[in-house]
Amino acid sequence: MYRVDSMIADEFISDEEIRETLRYADENRHNAALIESLLAKAEERKGLGHREASVLLACDIPELNERIFSLAGEIKRDFYGDRIVMFAPLYLSNYCVNGCVYCPYHAKNRHIARKKLSQDEICREVIALQDMGHKRLALETGEDPVNCPIDYVLESIRTIYSIKHRNGAIRRVNVNIAATTVENYRKLKEAGIGTYILFQETYHKESYLKLHPTGPKHDYNYHTEAMDRAMEGGIDDVGCGVLFGLELYRYEFAGLLMHAEHLEAVHGVGPHTISVPRIKHADDIDPDAFDNGIDDETFLKIIACIRIAVPYTGMIISTRESRSVRERALKYGISQISGGSRTSVGGYFEPEDEDDNSAQFDVSDNRTLDEVVKWLMDLGYVPSFCTACYREGRTGDRFMSLCKSGQIQNCCLPNALMTLEEYLMDYASPETKAIGEKVLKEQLLHIPNPRTAEIARRHIEDIVRGERDFRF
Ligand code: SAM
């Protein structure tokens, strides 16, 4: 049975509907007339359903594939302009009671160094992150009710928000912790989190059960229904994702979009972000042991098709991916990237040594945040450290309606430029600063409303003079 508005995972992520979708997509992968009509519909920038988008993903006609990529690029520019939101992960604890076969945190791994940060250690990490220039974090933990209970996560969030080192501040803490109860989601909301992020890993139930053989994460329905509980607990920004490589990518793609459709149908708002991680080498994990790895071209096509299907949903790529893949992914849909990331517990203050490895996976893009910021500007993007929407309460459906009406442009670009100026003044290397000042001048001309542009110009002058108020 397939019911988008059901609250039961097996119904809103219906295996039968996904298989039917994949059959339909396969039958139509050479159907130029249908694909043309889907592209025409997608040009209206209102998105596509999972079946329609699955046909685009399956499309086997080179000229039409080119059009898919170029439309994704246009939609990306229309909705996000040149802005790219910056963030960094912060690993609090890698204790874990689960048995996820792709993750080195799994409970049977006896040689990974187990660590959990004390509040003092969190301070050191946050100061290191602030000194790089970060304003937005994604908290990461393994699942362990004893070593990493919800109270520890809540205390850590309070600690992070309380630290103001020099001009630094973490203004948005997103949280990527295991599926939990409505009550705990409510507590996270009260603690002032931004987005609650949880990767589905795979929507294929049978594979899910095998890939998560032991521990609380084994419960597929509890995990898949987590976003509904988060929304019931008052969190209106949720971030979805699958770990590509575990199952057939087309199955995951359809499942991901069905999940988004379900959240929109039941809660009136789809996911705030979609992440696209691929399995990486890690302590005792060999990505080649998984049969469903995808090549870079397929990966980019998935990103392009997600962009077309859900134009309003932010898309995140991490340092799991190399500089060159990230560069291409930015063009077709990615709106948020991490920079200067460490995936080890305590790795910002004290970089890992070989014998004391607590990292979750190997990072492919090892550049510093300053290098990433400069690279983005060299490519014509505006790195944004803005968190204003969240701070002004523009979350959930309020954010989505601004986005859908196009009004977000008048609001996001000035904020991005002001936070970029803060970064340039406080943290940038001389080369980055020189390029940044040029970018700022040019981009101020792109703010649609002249009055808003004038206000932004004045605020930027204030920032240069050292007069700050933390609205962003
Ligand atoms: N423990 C939390 C949970 O149960 O959902 C999530 C936090 S975990 C630190 C973040 C994500 O890293 C996981 O959801 C998984 O998708 C991803 N991950 C785990 N092992 C990985 C690997 N070998 N390569 C790439 N990503 C991996």
Any domain includes 403: yes
pLDDT of amino acid 403:
72
C-alpha dihedral sign at 72, 74, 79, 83: positive
Residue 405 has pLDDT above 80, yes or no: no
Q: What is the pLDDT of residues 337-366, one digit of tens each?
A: 999 999 999 999 987 666 667 888 889 999
Asked whether 230 lines ligand 1 (CB < 6 A), one says: no
**Is the pLDDT assigned to residue 174 strictly greater than 60?**
yes
Average pLDDT for the chain? 95
| Å from CA of 103 to ligand 1 middle | 6
Token pair belonging to 466:
């050292």
Confidence of residue 470 (pLDDT cuts 50, 70, 90): low
Q: Is the CB of 140 under 6 A from ligand 1?
A: yes
Between the alpha carbon of residue 467 and those of residues 138, 337, 461, 470, the distances in Å are 28, 28, 9, 10
Shared-domain flag, residues 137 and 107: yes
Is pLDDT above 70 for 469? no
pLDDT at 472: 61
- Together in a domain, 347 and 408: no
For ligand 1, whether the C-beta of 280 sits within 6 Å is yes
Q: Are residues 244 and 207 in the same domain?
A: yes
What's the pLDDT tens digit per position in 204-242? 999 999 999 999 999 999 999 999 999 999 999 999 999
Ligand 1 centre to CA of 360 (Å) is 7
Q: Is residue 397 very low, low, confident or very high in pLDDT (cuts 50, 70, 90)? A: confident
Other CB atoms within 10 A of residue 372 CB: 23
139 and 214 both lie in a single domain: yes
Within-domain flag for 261: yes
Verify that 186 and 223 share a domain, yes or no: yes
Same domain, yes or no, for 330 and 446? no
Residue 411 pLDDT exceeds 90: no
Query: What would the pLDDT profile of 16-65 be if each residue is shown by its tens digit?
Result: 999 999 999 999 999 999 999 999 999 999 999 999 999 999 999 999 99
pLDDT at position 401 over 80:
no
Q: Measured from the CB, is residue 239 less than 6 Å from ligand 1?
A: no
Q: How far is the CA of 167 from the centre of ligand 1 (A)?
A: 32
Q: Which of 366, 400, 429 is the last residue of a domain?
A: 366
Let me know if residue 311 belongs to a domain.
yes
Residue 159 Cβ inside 6 Å of ligand 1? The answer reads no
Q: What angle do CA 157, 188, 396 make, to 5 degrees?
A: 115
Contact, 429 vs 390, CB < 8 A? no
Last residue of a domain, one of 307, 332, 366: 366
Ligand 1 atom nearest to CA at 89: 9
| Ligand 1 binding pocket includes 103 (Cβ within 6 Å) | yes
Residue 391 clears pLDDT 80, i.e. is over it: no
Query: Considering the domain boundaries, does residue 219 fall inside one?
Result: yes
Domain of residue 200 covers 77-366
Alpha helices in 43-167 (DSSP H): 50-58, 62-80, 119-132, 150-162
Q: Is residue 190, in this structure, part of any structural domain at all?
A: yes
How many other CB atoms are found less than 10 A from the CB of residue 209? 13
How many whole angstroms from 165 Cα to the centroid of ligand 1?
30
Judge if 156 and 271 occupy the same domain. yes
- Same domain (yes/no): 350, 393: no
Q: What is the pLDDT of residue 471?
A: 62
Q: Which pLDDT belongs to residue 468?
A: 79
In a domain, 321, yes or no: yes
Q: Which of 54-63, 103-112, 126-135, 382-391 has the lowest mean pLDDT?
A: 382-391
Is residue 281 located within the same domain as residue 409?
no
Q: Does the C-beta of 176 come closer than 6 Å to ligand 1?
A: yes
Q: How far is the CA of 321 from the centre of ligand 1 (A)?
A: 15
The number of domains in the chain is: 2
Question: Mind listing the pLDDT tens digit for each residue in 317-333?
Answer: 999 999 999 999 999 99
What pLDDT does residue 467 have?
Answer: 85
Per-residue confidence band for 464, with pLDDT thresholds at 50, 70 and 90: very high
Same domain, 392 and 349: no
363 CB under 6 A from ligand 1?
A: no
Q: Assess if residue 336 is contained within a domain.
A: yes
Q: What is the CA radius of gyration of the chain?
A: 21
- Tell me if 339 CB under 6 Å of ligand 1: no
Burial group, residue 469, by CB count within 10 angstroms (0-12, 13-18, 19+): exposed
pLDDT at 392: 78
Ligand 1 atom closest to 243 (CA): 16
Query: What is the pLDDT at residue 81?
Result: 93
Q: Of the residues 336, 366, 396, which one is the last residue of a structural domain?
A: 366
CA distance 179 to 57: 30
460 CA distance to ligand 1 middle (Å):
39
Q: What is the pLDDT of residue 399?
A: 73
Q: Tell how far the Cα of 25 is from the centroid of ligand 1, in angstroms.
A: 30
- For the Cβ of 277 lying below 6 angstroms from any atom of ligand 1, the answer is yes
Same domain, 204 and 101: yes
CATH number at residue 211: 3.20.20.70
Q: What is the DSSP letter of 218?
A: G
* Per-residue confidence (pLDDT) for residue 292, from 0 to 100: 97
How many Cα atoms within 13 Å fall on the side-chain side of residue 346?
17
In a domain, 14, yes or no: no
> What's the whole-number mean pLDDT along residues 103-124?
97
Q: At 283, is the pLDDT very low, low, confident or very high (cuts 50, 70, 90)?
A: very high
pTM of the model: 0.97
- Whether 151 and 190 have beta carbons less than 8 Å apart is answered as no
Whether residue 401 is found in the same domain as residue 361: no
